Amino acid sequence: MKKDIILAGVGGQGILSIATVIGEAALQEGLYLKQAEVHGMSQRGGDVQSNLRLSSEPIMSDLIPKGGADLIISLEPMEALRYVEYLAPDGWIVTSCVPFLNIPNYPELETVLNRIKAYEHHVLLDVETLAKEAGAPAQAANMVLLGAAIPMLGIEHDKMIDGVKRVFARKGEAVVETNVKAVETGYAFSVR
Amino acid sequence: MKHLLLGDEAIAQGAIDAGLSGVYAYPGTPSTEVTEYIQLKAKHLHCRWAANEKTAMEAALGMSYMGKRALVCMKHVGMNVCADAFMNAAITGVNGGLIVLAADDPSMHSSQNEQDSRFYAKFAMIPCLEPCNQQQAYDMMAYGFDLSEKLRTPILLRVTTRMAHSRAVVNTLDTPRPQNELSMPENVNHFILLPAFAKRNYAELVAAQPTFVAHSEQDGQNVYTRGTFPQKAIVTTGIGYNYLMENYDASMGCSILRITQYPLPAALIGQMVKDGAKEILVIEEGQPVVEELLRGMVPSDIVIKGRLTGDLPRMGELSPDCVRKAIGLDALPVHEPEAIVVGRPPALCQGCGHRDMYTALNEVAREYPNPRIFGDIGCYTLGALSPFHAIHACVEMGASVTMAKGAADAGQHPAIAVIGDSTFTHSGMTGLLDCVNANANVVVLISDNLTTGMTGGQDSAGTGRLEQICTGLGVDPAHVRVVVPLPKNMDEIKNVLREEIDYAGTSVVIARRECIQTLKRHLKAAKKS
């Protein structure tokens, strides 16, 4: 088993929480893991990404090669497109369709979404609305996105839910329940 | 035990488990997390932030003097700040183990240059360690402290961004080694660098060089593997090895020398040549240090390839892709980049006090024919970008104050420095003293957000005492002004700035409002308790 994942978004959106949950589940599965993060200046509202690599064999490079990513998980549609050079020819894009507008020259949203739809393997979803519908706060939008990516992760659905429970356990039962619900909502959207 | 750790955290845990007594550091990306981890996991050790890298290095040397193990952490440019102490610590030598961690930032993700700290190890003539993965980073702390005490020399530990900020599973010891007992140096004269003593120390350091090389050859950190086709050889340093192995196919049969310890292991390089190497590719993160050194170590008919020859990019960090190309493999098939994607540069947070400070400053500066505003290092450097375009220079920690002074000396008016509170206590105070002594016609605008913001909100050394520091340095108390950068105070701030610009002498304006990131954190913590 080998999955190379690029997590993308805008500084402060919460891509590292997604990585934490996947990492927790992967370690329980006994997989090797490497995860390169961005700290420092770019976190101030700039584009951020994290390279997450999972494998049943030892992993060498901390970075994913161009053309090597099995999956791009993005909390922002244009940010998903920023990394397509890294996507394998048959790779998946799972992304929120809600733009993060903090720059004056953001391209036309419809064009951005059409570009994403041009990729054969894509899941495009409104994570914020889905979070709301699940009765979860806006901060749980990243867990909806994680849920939508589960079918492509190579880790079983139940194992991922266990991962969510363990990661959020110290925040109390209510927080665990909200986040599990958010993940299930995203998962249901993806497999429907 | 198994832990998922950042490279920085592996270094911190390795130091704790190796009997560390204190860490001394000033925050700087990508090194900050080492000290933060020790603050979180081992509060009983000395782990308070230092005012700058020089005070950190000196305090660590003092702890080592007393026989205890000390760690100094900084980003690469911090090495310049502590260079005086660092270079001379190589001459004094150490008592307790002393490791200096320099985290380099090739590609300048969060830095103003990509200087390679390995030059400093060579400059000071001390051993340097450069781990290739998180596990080795952990293991090298115990090895490094032991080596430091055995050789009585400081050790430089060099990592780069991808090592510092990448997570992997690390196996750690169950029981940490106890700390050293307090003990005086055997020979106190070693620490008294009068020329007569220093000459003796320096001669010892020179004489120890072959021993340093022998450790590089024999301790197992550097590994040479003869290939089945040894005419082609590859030398990797640090994480360069991982990019090679990501792409390498055993059928290529190259001889491979994996370097993670310096000085260079001459015997292993000699063996590589003896085995028939005709072409050597050097894969190293940072500047072409080994590539240049090898040219003087192997016969001149051997072709050396690397960053200087264009086989790898001259600048920037390595990637699996550029290394793949360098070893002669075709690129993987990729999707074309999407032309529609535009840049998303970082920006000051909404609600940040620096924003209101710049709004006021820009409006006042516009009233003068040719204002010059000298910026400094921190979040507020982003004032150079849209929408503010407020600063005309930014060089290194503290330079705003002294460059404004130099400009004023040259006849510029108004000459304004913009500096953060933490940068001011790091390196701005001495420059302010120069201003006071010359009664330089400058305004030093300290944008005080009560924290070291850019690196994530660490304690700032002068919090609550900036006015006293400025008046203590001799600034006329009538010209140390404090304002609160909020939109509702805009008129007041602008008036204060005008008055101090028009005052012919040194003045300080402190714009003080808490960083909104730390404020959010504090409010959240207060809500919980």
Within a domain: B346: no
Q: Hey, what are B150's tokens?
A: 């055995």
Contact B340 A115 (CB under 8 A): yes
Within a domain: B348: no
Residue B374 has pLDDT above 90, yes or no: yes
Contact B346 A11 (CB under 8 A): yes
Question: What pLDDT is attached to residue B8?
Answer: 98
- Listed residue (A77, A117, A72, A114) closest to A93, CA to CA: A72
Residue in chain A nearest B346 by alpha carbon: A46
Alpha helices in B382-475 (DSSP H): 399-410, 421-423, 429-438, 466-472
Q: What's the pLDDT tens digit per position in B100-122? A: 999 999 999 999 999 999 999 99
Residue B490 has pLDDT above 70, yes or no: yes
Residue A40 has pLDDT above 80, yes or no: no
Same domain (yes/no): B282, B377: no
Contact A106 B342 (CB under 8 A): yes
Residue B355 has pLDDT above 80, yes or no: yes
Per-residue confidence band for B227, with pLDDT thresholds at 50, 70 and 90: very high
Chain B 443-462, residues with CB within 8 Å of chain A CB atoms: 454-456
Contact A66 B336 (CB under 8 A): no
Question: What pLDDT is attached to residue B157?
Answer: 98
A&B contacts, CB < 8 Å: 149
Within a domain: B7: yes
Same domain (yes/no): B314, B402: no
Q: Which of B207, B234, B261 is the last residue of a domain?
A: B207
Kindly list the residues from chain A whose CB atom is less than 8 angstroms away from the CB atom of residue B27: none
Q: Give chain B's mean pLDDT.
A: 97
Q: Is the CB of residue A127 less than 8 Å from the CB of residue A96?
A: yes
Same domain (yes/no): B142, B87: yes
Q: What's the pLDDT tens digit per position in B407-458? A: 999 999 999 999 999 999 999 999 999 999 999 999 999 999 999 999 999 9
Within a domain: B217: no
Question: What pLDDT is attached to residue B528?
Answer: 79
Distance from CA of B211 to the nearest CA of A (A): 32
Residue A138 has pLDDT above 90, yes or no: no
Kindly list the residues from chain B whose CB atom is less than 8 angstroms away from the CB atom of residue A57: none
Q: What's the pLDDT tens digit per position in A6-20? A: 999 998 888 989 999
Residue in chain B nearest A70 by alpha carbon: B334
Chain B 155-194, residues with CB within 8 Å of chain A CB atoms: 162-163, 165-169
Q: Is the CB of residue B458 less than 8 Å from the CB of residue B27?
A: yes
Any chain A CB within 8 A of the CB of B302? no
Within a domain: B303: yes
The closest CB to that of B4, out of A27, A79, A102, belongs to A27
Any chain A CB within 8 A of the CB of B514? no
Q: Tell whether omega for the bond before B485 is within 30 degrees of 0, i.e. cis.
A: no
The closest CB to that of B30, out of A34, A40, A112, belongs to A40
Same domain (yes/no): B289, B325: yes
Query: In the predicted model, what is the mean pLDDT of residues A94-105?
Result: 95
For B150-173, give the DSSP string: HHTS-EEEEEEHHHHTEEEEEE--
- For B78, half-sphere exposure in the C-beta direction (CA atoms, 13 angstrom radius) is 30
Q: Which of A46-50, A56-60, B375-379, B393-397 has the lowest mean pLDDT?
A: A46-50
Same domain (yes/no): B200, B227: no
The closest CB to that of B332, out of A42, A43, A66, belongs to A66
Residue in chain A nearest B105 by alpha carbon: A40
Q: Work out the percent of chain B whose per-residue pLDDT is above 90.
A: 97
Q: Which of B176, B207, B238 is the last residue of a domain?
A: B207
The single-letter code of the amino acid at A132 is K
Per-residue confidence band for A42, with pLDDT thresholds at 50, 70 and 90: low
Contact B455 A64 (CB under 8 A): no
Geometric angle at alpha carbon A134, from A131 and A137, rounded to 5°: 50
Same domain (yes/no): B199, B287: no
Q: What's the pLDDT tens digit per position in B151-200? A: 999 999 999 999 999 999 999 999 999 999 999 999 999 999 999 999 99
Per-residue confidence band for A45, with pLDDT thresholds at 50, 70 and 90: confident
Within a domain: B342: no
* Residue A16 to residue A5: CA distance in whole angstroms: 12
Any chain A CB within 8 A of the CB of B250? no
CATH number at B21 reads 3.40.50.970
ipTM of predicted assembly, 2 dp: 0.94
Distance from CA of B201 to the nearest CA of A (A): 40
Q: Work out the percent of chain A whose per-residue pLDDT is above 90.
A: 88
Kindly list the residues from chain B whose CB atom is less than 8 angstroms away from the CB atom of residue A87: 334-335
The single-letter code of the amino acid at B453 is G
The sign of the dihedral angle between the CA atoms of B372, B378, B384, B386 is: negative
Query: In the predicted model, what is the mean pLDDT of residues B81-94?
Result: 98
Residue B302 has pLDDT above 90, yes or no: yes
Domain that holds residue B161: 2-207
Same domain (yes/no): B478, B379: yes
Same domain (yes/no): B254, B380: no
Same domain (yes/no): B248, B299: yes
Same domain (yes/no): B381, B304: no
Within a domain: B343: no
Kindly list the residues from chain B whose CB atom is less than 8 angstroms away from the CB atom of residue A68: 320, 332
Q: Is the CB of residue B111 less than 8 Å from the CB of residue B137?
A: no
Within a domain: B340: no
- pTM of the complete model beyond 0.90: yes
Residue A173 has pLDDT above 90, yes or no: yes
CATH number at B268 reads 3.40.50.920
Q: Which of B148, B183, B207 is the last residue of a domain?
A: B207
Kindly list the residues from chain A whose CB atom is less than 8 angstroms away from the CB atom of residue B341: 78, 81-82, 107
Same domain (yes/no): B448, B500: yes
| Selected residue of B338, B394, B449 to mutate for chain A interface (largest A Cβ count, 10 A) | B338
Residue A41 has pLDDT above 90, yes or no: no
Chain B 88-117, residues with CB within 8 Å of chain A CB atoms: 109-110
User: What is residue B373's three-state secondary structure?
Assistant: strand
Q: Count Cβ atoms within 10 A of the Cβ of residue A69 and give its class: 0-12 exposed, 13-18 middle, 19 or more buried.
A: buried
Contact A42 B346 (CB under 8 A): yes
* Residue B134 to residue B169: CA distance in whole angstroms: 8
Q: How many domains does chain B have?
A: 3
Same domain (yes/no): B394, B504: yes
Kindly list the residues from chain B whose CB atom is less than 8 angstroms away from the CB atom of residue A40: 29-30, 109-110, 454-455
